[in-house]
Amino acid sequence: MATRPEQLAPPEVFYNDTEARKYTTSSRMVEIQANLTERALELLNLPEDGEPKLLLDLGCGSGLSGESLTECGHHWLGMDISEAMLDVACEREVEGDVMLSDIGQGLPLRTGVFDGAISISAIQWLCNADKTANDPRQRLKAFFQTLYRSLARGARAVLQFYPDGPKQVEMISSAAMRVGFSGGLVVDFPHSTRAKKYFLVLMAGPPSVNSTLPKAKGVDGGSESNEDDVSEDDEGATVEFADRQRHAKRRRKDGKRGKGRSWILNKKRQQREKGVEVPADTKYTGRKRKARF
């Protein structure tokens, strides 16, 4: 089995110039990160009022995940510990603001301001103790505590990560729970070794009407995946932290990504008819980003 990058070097060393460039020039990588981000956005379950939101992208790297946020019209603030990755993000002129920050030191943010947070393929790095001063438990605690605080009440954080085993899943999710988050783990494609993806879906603040658990695709009236043979029950979508392994939600979906231009145009028209202000339709509307940079 290949060695995990987390075991090779600390993130700020591993993600050097070469790695940063490799990352954004691989069209496969671009596609994977875009897919993961779209899924994370879906799980974030933002209000469908057509208004842009203010989001966090934790471990934003070269901005691949952030670009998907921009495509949906949102403003975002990205944090990453690797200068090389952020340099690439700037070269690519991402729309979000990015800053150099170690999320294991806690987020330098005000209280209650963000509408949501995503993190794509980053937080497993917090489980490594690269320096003697790094205590993974303490770093996870600082991270979750400050993340919780920075979110508006009722807002969610969706954190996709690559655990190296069940112990790491446990360590990360219990750290999240301990600071007051509710929520659980959504595992996509649980039976495929390659496609299996872990999303920690967290909610800040007391459970409310809005804290119904992640819905599967297509339930919001979209036509996209009604034809999918997804066996969905909303309740199963989020797994209680305590016995998540046993009841892990099973999802299947086809390979399609994105909702497509016609879906977006239609949604925008509906919003306009409701009197909601939406950006004008242009040739860029719903355009797929080219997988090259």
Partner 1 sequence: MRLLTHNMLACNIKGVTKGYPLKIEATKTEEKETDFNAGFLRHIYPKLDWKALREAAASLGLEELPEQVEPSQLEDEDFLRRFHHVLLEIHLEEGALVCPETGRRFPVSKGIPNMLLNEDEV
Ligand X SMILES: C[S@@+](CC[C@H](N)C(=O)[O-])C[C@H]1O[C@@H](n2cnc3c(N)ncnc32)[C@H](O)[C@@H]1O
Residues that bind partner 1 (CB under 8 A): 49-54, 73, 75, 77, 79, 81, 83, 86-87, 90, 95, 97-102, 105-110, 112-114, 133, 142, 146, 150, 152, 276-277, 279
Query: Of the two residues 76 and 241, which places its CB atom closer to partner 1 in the complex?
Result: 76
Query: Of the two residues 35 and 138, which places its CB atom closer to partner 1 in the complex?
Result: 138
Radius of gyration of the chain (CA): 18
Provide, rounded to whole angstroms, the least separation between the CB of residue 22 and ligand X.
11
Residue 149 is encoded by which pair of tokens?
Answer: 């605080």
Long-range contacts (CB closer than 8 Å, 24 or more residues apart) made by 289-293: 289/30, 289/34, 289/67, 289/71, 291/27, 291/30, 291/31, 292/25, 292/27, 293/24, 293/25, 293/30, 293/92
Query: Of the two residues 49 and 220, which places its CB atom closer to partner 1 in the complex?
Result: 49
Taken in order 201, 6, 16, 32, the sign of the CA dihedral is negative
Provide, rounded to whole angstroms, the least separation between the CB of residue 119 and ligand X.
7
d(CA 160, CA 187): 10
Provide, rounded to whole angstroms, the least separation between the CB of residue 45 and partner 1.
17
Q: How far is CA 29 from the centre of its chain?
A: 15
**65 is in the binding site of which of partner 1, ligand X, none (Cβ under 5 to 8 A by kind)?**
ligand X
Provide, rounded to whole angstroms, the least separation between the CB of residue 136 and ligand X.
11
Interface residues with ligand X (CB under 6 A) are 11, 15, 33, 59-62, 64-65, 79-82, 85, 102-104, 120-122, 125-126
Provide, rounded to whole angstroms, the least separation between the CB of residue 96 and partner 1.
9
d(CA 50, CA 271): 7
| Residue in this structure with the two tokens 């700020």, named with its chain if needed | 12
Of the candidates 176, 242, 188, the one whose C-alpha atom is nearest the C-alpha of residue 40 is 188
Query: Of the two residues 148 and 244, which places its CB atom closer to ligand X in the complex?
Result: 148
Query: Of the two residues 255 and 275, which places its CB atom closer to partner 1 in the complex?
Result: 275
Query: Of the two residues 93 and 233, which places its CB atom closer to partner 1 in the complex?
Result: 93
**145 is in the binding site of which of ligand X, partner 1, none (Cβ under 5 to 8 A by kind)?**
none
d(CA 179, CA 73): 31
Provide, rounded to whole angstroms, the least separation between the CB of residue 54 and partner 1.
6
